Chains A and B, each alone.
Chain A
Amino acid sequence: MFTLRRLAIALPTLFIIATASFFLMRAAPGGPFDAEADLEPAVLENIRAAYDLDKPLLEQYWIYLTNALSGDFGPSLVYKDFGVNELIAIGLPISAKLGLLAMIVALLLGGLCGIIAALRQNGIIDHIIMALAMTGIAIPSFVTAPILVLFFGLYLKLLPVAGWNDGAPANMVLPIIALALPQIAIIARLMRGGMLEVLQSNFVRTARAKGLRESHVILRHVMQTAAIPLVGYLGPALAGIMTGSLVIELIFNLPGVGRYFVQGALNRDYPLVMGVVVIYGALIIALNLLSDLAYAALDPRVRRGYR
């Protein structure tokens, strides 16, 4: 019931996202062919006609909507050798793979750091971990990524400097680290916060009073509850990290979809932007749903609220 209700809301949400971004995109000043030199007015007219851009806005919207429903986002106005579907079909798996792996690394390392910091609250280890985490959050990836490249790529010559190389593992290591670093920091802080709150609660004291082994208390009772804030964060974060990052893609020269959000918008490549926005919207809705389901599984109160 809970799942069905959430699914029923998802589709109209996606429709609203698509509609709003279509009209916002068209309302932005400038057009897709602004940056092309040498165009005679008649040539420009021919080009606009070829992409249906000479039609009234509502008709364009209708064309877009009917095509999108049949799963076709149309041709890219800038990358003329590819359809938007193709660009996303090539780029999204790459971004998703890197994002997912980065998130796994971040969960393992960040979760571990958070737990250790919480168990050592206000100790030296806690302070060190939290200081590192703050640094991790504060330093942007356009600083860390080039440093990683300089050190591991140019100085130690251990790993390739950039490029995708058809997904060779060596080419993925540095981008994954660069993507994971800020996530490790955020996850460590969330995990630590959740743990500290739960460690003080009555049921933990009861569990300890009953003489349960500490590892049992932590694993069975504390961690499950402490992970709840983290689960809420993971849904949108995963959607974000899986749809790529412009900065990481530019620095590592990766063919992901992250760049299409920014450059598509700057180039006024309407179909491309609409394509990535809808995909991102769908992903974020799906992952939020998943994270809510996980929530419900971890916390019975959420489940009951919907009954």
Chain B
Amino acid sequence: MPLSIPFARKTVTAVLLLLACVASFFALTTSTTFAQPVAEPMVINRGTSAEPPSLDPNMAAGTLASPIINDLFTGLLSRGPDSLPAPGAAESWEISDDRKTYTFRLRPNLRWSDGRPLTADDFVYSYRRIMDPKTASRLVGMYFPIKNTRSIMEGKLPPESLGVSAPDDRTVVIELNEPTPYLLELLSNLQSVPVPRHVIEEHGSGWTKPGVMVSNGAFYLADRVPQSYIGLKKNPYFYEADNVRADVVNWHPTQDLATSLKRFRAGELDIILNFPPSEIGWIRENLADSLYITPIPGTYFLVPNTRKPPLDDVRVRKALYLAIDRDAIANRLLKTGVSPAWSQVSPALSTYPGIEMDEAKMSFAERQELARKLIRESGYDTSQRLELAYDTNEENRKIMVAIAAMWQAIGVRTELINVEFPMLFRKVRMHDFALSRWFYIAPFDDAYAMLQVFTADNPNNWPGIVNPDFDEMLRQSNYINDPAERQAMLQNAERELMSDYAVIPINFYVGRRLISPRVKGWVDTPAGPTLSRYLFLAD
């Protein structure tokens, strides 16, 4: 039908004109958006893996929110440029002879980001707020060393009975139930930050909004679009504001790791704390000057349900432990920098030497042989299928398939069960599983943090193991004053845990970060990402 050509041509012209209009609209608005102010502020763009659940320090749990809240708030203790504990709002402290009372002396003239004076009462208010059942904070468990925490949480005592007090404006006293050698480490996380009573009482749960939130850290909350960015600006009232060089720090929650990497490559993000593990080869070749791989205190392991057959038999658990070729998984299958884990507690902890397992010295063939013998002796029914649950994720799938194949070699047949993470969590917590992939990252820098979860009464105790000797060793470690002796006791406790094969460690985590070369001040340590107050940009 040749007669339609003029018509088609007209329509094409009309559509092109319309598209041109749209394009020119974009062009016009673009030119205004990218207009540059005269003095350019220093803006650091940091990536984070997802939208943090909350910026309220009394509510937020987990590694997602911590680095952002650490930019906003400063506790009694804070972290130095190397991310190790350092004086924060408190300039000094004294520990009583029985090591059950800590007295902190605040710096003079502390202020909130709205200029109001910050006093010891604000710290007490923050602690009481966490403990109050009405606050429904998830963090209470971290504070159990403090006197009366448990009773307040259960509603038996009022929040005012908590063992934290302020005898005067510059003194905070913390009383403990029993000596807690890791207390200062604990307090240098989010466990000792104050919250602004004057703002919370006025705005209630809306106090974390930009423009409302008042904080005492190096930065204050200026702007926030959920799932897009959290904009922080330099706080002029911070006690070391003169040493803070960045004017603006934008945190960008970027859930998709591939997107995160692309944004880094395009220069939209200066720092990203993770990227797709499969890209590590390409990154080593092309972004070597930005790549930082450092062990972090976390372990990837399998947890057996020790309360149900067949894994209630320690011989079966030991056989499964023996028959895994950890070296092959870490260095040939994954190649992402992780190291094989023979024991549970990560060697990345700054004070803990770790333990050596005899099995690590055996050859794989020797271990397989011993495993077969143990399986025979235990009377394990090799016709059954052992259910191994894991959360949906490409890397997990690879590892689980490899492990299933390794166990096949000793006659243990596996059925892989793949579920969404919240489902897996539920299964594990309800002890509704036979064997599950699991992981744990130490919430504070001490072996105690990684071991205490296996005590009989801990709600985490995923394997459901009960070993009174282990519990007693952990308890005793709190009463040992000498650091080396204490670490030795913790080592004994870990050996005790491993002698039950209550966990089957696979590998130790590493942090995989990309830091743009123009970012200065970054110190890559196991202790955590560097606080933004120590960072600056320079070409």
Chain A interfacial positions (CB closer than 8 Å to B): 29-31, 34-43, 46-47, 49-51, 75, 78-82, 87, 90-91, 101, 104-105, 108-109, 112, 115-116, 119-120, 146, 149-150, 153-154, 157, 160-166, 168-170, 172-173, 214-215, 218-219, 249-256, 259, 266-268
Q: Does B226 lie within 8 Å of A154, measured CB to CB?
A: no
Partner of A87, one of B1, B226, B460: B226
Q: Does A157 lie within 8 Å of B266, measured CB to CB?
A: yes
Interface size on B, residues (CB 8 A): 66
Q: Is the interface of B mostly helix, strand, loop or mixed?
A: helix
Please tell me which stretch of B252-260, B310-318, B515-523 contacts chain A, meaning at least 4 of its Cβ atoms lie within 8 angstroms of it. B252-260
- A291 CB to closest chain B CB (Å) equals 22
Assess A259 versus B227: contact at CB under 8 Å? Given A108-B19, A169-B25, A169-B29: yes
Interface membership of B425, Cβ < 8 A: yes
Interface membership of B11, Cβ < 8 A: yes
Assess A119 versus B153: contact at CB under 8 Å? Given A30-B426, A157-B266, A163-B252: no
Chain B residue nearest to A215 in the complex (CB): B7
Partner of A255, one of B30, B227, B460: B227
Chain A residue nearest to B213 in the complex (CB): A81
Interface membership of B3, Cβ < 8 A: yes
10 A-B pairs within 8 Å (CB atoms) are namely A43-B141, A50-B136, A79-B51, A90-B225, A91-B227, A119-B7, A161-B265, A214-B1, A253-B252, A259-B255
Complex Cα–Cα for A37 and B441 (A):
11
* Set of chain A residues within 8 Å of B54, measured between Cβ atoms: 79-81
Q: Does A91 lie within 8 Å of B226, measured CB to CB?
A: yes
Assess A253 versus B421: contact at CB under 8 Å? Given A79-B53, A149-B262: no
- A35 CB to closest chain B CB (Å) equals 4
Interface membership of B55, Cβ < 8 A: yes
Assess A161 versus B263: contact at CB under 8 Å? Given A146-B258, A250-B256: yes
Residue among A34, A104, A249, A268 with the highest chain B CB neighbour number at 10 A: A34
Chain A residue nearest to B133 in the complex (CB): A46
Q: Does A161 lie within 8 Å of B259, measured CB to CB?
A: yes
Q: Does B254 lie within 8 Å of A253, measured CB to CB?
A: yes
Q: Does B262 lie within 8 Å of A154, measured CB to CB?
A: yes
Given contacts A251-B259, A255-B227, 7 further A-B contacts (CB under 8 A): A35-B421, A39-B141, A46-B136, A79-B53, A120-B1, A164-B225, A259-B227
Assess A254 versus B228: contact at CB under 8 Å? Given A29-B423, A214-B7: yes
Interface membership of B4, Cβ < 8 A: yes
Interface membership of B363, Cβ < 8 A: no
Complex Cα–Cα for A154 and B266 (A):
6
Q: Does A112 lie within 8 Å of B53, measured CB to CB?
A: no
Complex Cα–Cα for A265 and B266 (A):
33
Chain B residue nearest to A119 in the complex (CB): B4
- A29 CB to closest chain B CB (Å) equals 7
Q: Does A250 lie within 8 Å of B259, measured CB to CB?
A: yes
Contacting A at CB under 8 A, from B328-379, are none
Chain B residue nearest to A75 in the complex (CB): B205
Q: Does B209 lie within 8 Å of A81, measured CB to CB?
A: yes
Assess A34 versus B259: contact at CB under 8 Å? Given A43-B141, A169-B26: no
Interface membership of B18, Cβ < 8 A: yes
Residue among A109, A169, A268 with the highest chain B CB neighbour number at 10 A: A169
Assess A42 versus B154: contact at CB under 8 Å? Given A157-B266, A163-B252, A173-B26: yes
Q: Does A38 lie within 8 Å of B459, measured CB to CB?
A: yes
Complex Cα–Cα for A42 and B153 (A):
7
Partner of A40, one of B33, B140, B226, B422: B140
Residue among B1, B226, B268 with the highest chain A CB neighbour number at 10 A: B226
* Set of chain B residues within 8 Å of A219, measured between Cβ atoms: 7
Interface membership of B59, Cβ < 8 A: yes
Q: Does A34 lie within 8 Å of B426, measured CB to CB?
A: yes
- A87 CB to closest chain B CB (Å) equals 6
Complex Cα–Cα for A150 and B266 (A):
10
Assess A50 versus B225: contact at CB under 8 Å? Given A39-B141, A81-B55, A218-B7: no
Interface membership of B429, Cβ < 8 A: yes
Partner of A82, one of B226, B259, B420: B226
Partner of A251, one of B12, B227, B256, B459: B256
* Set of chain A residues within 8 Å of B409, measured between Cβ atoms: none
Complex Cα–Cα for A259 and B254 (A):
13
Interface membership of B56, Cβ < 8 A: yes
